[in-house]
A and B are shown apart, each in its own frame.
Chain A
Amino acid sequence: MNVLNALLLFGAAALLAWPTGRYLARVYAGERTWLHFLTPLERGFYRLAGLDPARAMTLGQYVRALLAVNAVWLLWGLGILLIQHQLPFWNPDHLPAMELTQALHSAVSFLTSTNAQHYSGETGASYFAQMAVFTFLQFVSAGTSLAVGVAVVRALGRAEKTANVGNFYQDLVRSCLLVLLPLGFIFSVGLLLTGVPMTFEGAGAYTSLEGVAGTVARGPVAAMLSIKELGSNGGGFFGPNCAHPFETPNFAAFVLHHLLVMLLPMAFVFMMGFYLKRRRLALLIFGVMTAGLFLLLVPAVLAELHGNPALSALGIDTGAGNLEGKEIRFGVFHTAYYNALNMAIPAGTLVGAQDSFTSLTGVPFMLLMQIDAFFGGLGTGFLNFFIYLIIAAFVASLMVGRSPELLGKKIEAPEMQAATLVAVAQPVVVLACTALAAWVWASTPSAATTLKWLPNPGAHGFSAMLYEFISAAAGNGSGYESLGDNTPFWNLVPCLAMLSGRFVPLLGALFIAARLQAKAYTEPGAGAIRLDSLTFGGLLLVVIGILGALLFFPALTLGPLAEYFEGK
């Protein structure tokens, strides 16, 4: 029954993604859509901002505009978090300002769509900060990911040679106003109906049946929930994220969350098919992504259902599986399934505590997160996949002895250099940062009492540090929450991973696409690689496996695998 549920939910997300993909393709082609009534909003926005959306931009101009708005957002976020206690409204519970490194970490984290949170929403962020910084950044960072994704797809579809990569502001505004705003609104209203709070009244008070007074944190939760998942952001209103009963009150809300997480990453693949009129290729990519996802998801779910042997040894009824850090209204199966999806999609909106998952689950989870292309983040997952696509096309062409090309454009040295740089940068940054953390921990005398990073003994501590950096670089933002992460070290070093993990793939893919569109199109000959063939699909999976997974095996043996053998 559980398996059937999961397949049904996955299928429903795909069914919903198909028309959404068609809608996206029409929006970015500038065609009339069924949300036509929003067009005046878009036009009004351009007029107020004094923008000419038709103005062509070169790669350099596009990148400069992107970096400029990101800089403005970073400063805004950082500033507000530092003075949130002085703002006169939307802070009914009188929460204090954030400490400097924590504010920096939070601002970078939401700017890069990572949404790692070293504060806890209910005690660390005023309603003003939750709305004007976090929810705002969730919308615009998702808009940025979508804009660049679209720019790359558009570049692949251009038949004529041109240096024009489109207008960044137009891509951003369309993504925000015509895609994220309507979808976010519809799903937020859906969540309201299931019982998610939306109030500015501050915490609620009650006296329990046993006569004990209690306080319940609440707030404008529903506004944040839809965009955190639509945009692959993931920052929860509350510390436990989607596991909190106010974020997911019941199974109906769980279903909405599931659809939200999968919708746009799936729709983006279909959008590419519609936009480039290559539906077969889109279906092949969809198939490869689904295959890769389930290859890693199934073992994770099985490990959780099997449970923790240390508890089975007590002679209690452990038939339900590993329930530490999980909630009854989802059960073990759905918690593991949904968390696995949130590894593949770097939303990281978890319904269970990662720390308490069984040791072996850490392997597929960290691999899914690292690969970040089995659907992957909104826009960014496709960009990562695009990098793998270039490398696979290159390898395949060389295997059959042809000069490498992608969709009729030649792949030459600069494109391959950029693709390799992007593919290698993320693992290098993650492993170097983890090594640094491990070195600091090991070289600090009595680190357990002075640093207090790792409350769990043994290899679990290494897993927690490795996970934190993979999560930062992949823009996932979830964590082994046991990590004592609100310290200057953990607030500053992961910023490096977040920034490189965000901007290297974004700009790298854009660079490659801009170069490809500046080349002449040649009709593929008889012996050319067929991108939409099953053989190529298989090769693609292998390339992703080698690049995304093998690089991490040494580190994974020191973390989750060592932990598994400790428990034996």
Chain B
Amino acid sequence: MKSFLRPIIVSGLLLLVFGFGFPGLLWGVAQLLPQRTAGSPVVVGGRVVGFERIGQKFTQPRYFWGRPSAVDYNAAATGASNAGPNNPDFHAAVRARLDTFLQHNPGIIKAQVPVELVTASASGIDPDLSPAAAYVQAARVARARHLPVAQVQQLVRQHIEQPWLGFMGPAHVSVLRLNLALDAARQ
């Protein structure tokens, strides 16, 4: 064989294995779990209302709100704010978010507001809140839904996902799951 062809043939074979064979094989395995490997869509009443791990935007007082997002929860073009720690625009945005939050949650004081509720996430579609950031919104949600605060707090408690294997990583609450449970509780 002509020696200058060898690199091309080797590359072509490697391309077949890794560019097509490997993804194809994995796709075949993925078909055993079609829901999960399609991104775990959440279906309610025959309608896709979201994806299990993709955060979505909540603005109404009757829902728990997720974290601020630099991309407005656009899951087709995700990203962070990429603001430097000293950036004055970033500081102004944080102050504005804090004001908005306090305005919509009367009775809550600054010291109760966890930093995650005024800072943007890395993906822009963070699906979770810490338990503290959910509890601090319970009074607002209860008022908007005319429910006892204790019942809403109880719902939050039920939706806390404990660390993996009981000790790995932080405990957190899925905002979409929690809000779905709220809607279900109303009926």
Inter-chain CB contacts under 8 Å: number: 350
Q: Would B39 and A209 count as touching, CB distance under 8 A? A: no
Contact of A206 among B51, B80, B83, B86 (CB under 8 A): B51
Q: Which of A109-137 contact B (CB under 8 A)?
A: 120, 122-123, 131-133, 135-136
A310 CB within 8 Å of chain B = yes
B14 CB within 8 Å of chain A = yes
Range of interface residues on B (Cβ < 8 Å): 35 or more
Q: Would B170 and A314 count as touching, CB distance under 8 A? A: no
CB distance from B66 to the nearest CB of A (A): 9
A199 CB within 8 Å of chain B = yes
Contacts of B130 in A (CB 8 A): 320, 328
Task: Please judge, given known A-B contacts A45-B13, A71-B7, A204-B38, whether A140 and B121 are in contact too, CB under 8 Å.
Answer: no
Q: Would A135 and B82 count as touching, CB distance under 8 A? A: no
Q: Which of B60-85 contact A (CB under 8 A)?
A: 60, 63, 67, 73-85
* Chain B residue nearest to A123 in the complex (CB): B77
Binary B-proximity of A280-320 (CB < 8 A = 1, otherwise 0): 00000000000000000000000000011011001111111
Task: Please judge, given known A-B contacts A176-B18, A192-B30, A456-B87, whether A48 and B38 are in contact too, CB under 8 Å.
Answer: no
Q: Would A245 and B14 count as touching, CB distance under 8 A? A: no
Q: Would B8 and A72 count as touching, CB distance under 8 A? A: yes
Binary A-proximity of B163-180 (CB < 8 A = 1, otherwise 0): 110011110100010011
The 8 closest A-B pairs by CB, nearest first: A243-B122, A251-B169, A353-B80, A460-B84, A198-B30, A456-B84, A136-B19, A482-B82
Interface size on A, residues (CB 8 A): 119
Pull 15 A–B residue pairs with CB atoms less than 8 Å apart, ordered by A: A72-B8, A135-B23, A136-B15, A181-B18, A204-B51, A210-B59, A215-B76, A308-B85, A317-B114, A320-B116, A324-B119, A327-B128, A328-B172, A334-B169, A481-B82
C-alpha spacing A480/B84, complex, angstroms: 9
C-alpha spacing A566/B84, complex, angstroms: 12
C-alpha spacing A455/B123, complex, angstroms: 19
Q: Which of A126-173 contact B (CB under 8 A)?
A: 131-133, 135-136, 139-140, 143, 169, 172-173
Q: Which of A342-361 contact B (CB under 8 A)?
A: 350-353, 355-359
A329 CB within 8 Å of chain B = yes
Contacts of B169 in A (CB 8 A): 5, 251, 254, 329-331, 334
Q: Would A328 and B119 count as touching, CB distance under 8 A? A: no
C-alpha spacing A513/B98, complex, angstroms: 60
Q: Would A212 and B57 count as touching, CB distance under 8 A? A: yes
A526 CB within 8 Å of chain B = no
Q: Would B36 and A566 count as touching, CB distance under 8 A? A: no
- Looking at A217-225, A365-373, A378-386, the stretch in contact with chain B turns out to be A217-225
Q: Would B82 and A201 count as touching, CB distance under 8 A? A: no
Q: Which of B12-40 contact A (CB under 8 A)?
A: 13-15, 17-20, 22-23, 25-27, 29-30, 33, 36-40
Q: Would B83 and A327 count as touching, CB distance under 8 A? A: no
B138 CB within 8 Å of chain A = no
Contacts of B110 in A (CB 8 A): 314-316
C-alpha spacing A325/B115, complex, angstroms: 12
C-alpha spacing A169/B33, complex, angstroms: 37
Contacts of B8 in A (CB 8 A): 72
* Chain A residue nearest to B77 in the complex (CB): A123
CB distance from A277 to the nearest CB of B (A): 32
Binary B-proximity of A187-219 (CB < 8 A = 1, otherwise 0): 011001101111111011111111010111110
